[in-house]
Amino acid sequence: MHDHHLVDLNSADAAAWAAGSWAAIPTTTLTRSAAQSADRLTAFAEQDTTEIAYPPIGPNSEQELEAFINLTRALFHI
């Protein structure tokens, strides 16, 4: 179940992707450009969202986390 979790596609993930699960990405994740993420985070704030779970993934998770921190600091002036 957690084989390659959040890092790569395992065989079940690949089958789901091939069947069209990729279509849900824009509505169920923050996988998008920085500008699009800023719009989405602003909308969450307007809806009184108080917490976002952000797992930085990929080959450079430190860079991903830093980019997310910088984006949220700029958006919310923190």
The whole-model pTM stands at 0.62
What 3-state DSSP class applies to 19?
coil
pLDDT for the residue 20? 96
How confident is the model over 3-49, as pLDDT tens digits?
777 778 889 999 999 999 999 988 888 788 888 888 888 998 999 98
Question: Would you kindly state where each structural domain of the chain is located, as residue ranges?
Answer: 1-29, 32-78
How confident is the model over 8-21, as pLDDT tens digits?
888 999 999 999 99
CA-CA distance, 35 to 26, in Å (whole number)? 14
User: Higher pLDDT residue, 2 or 54?
Assistant: 54
Check residue 9 and report its DSSP letter: -
pLDDT for the residue 27? 82
CA-CA distance, 48 to 37, in Å (whole number)? 17
pLDDT for the residue 1? 59
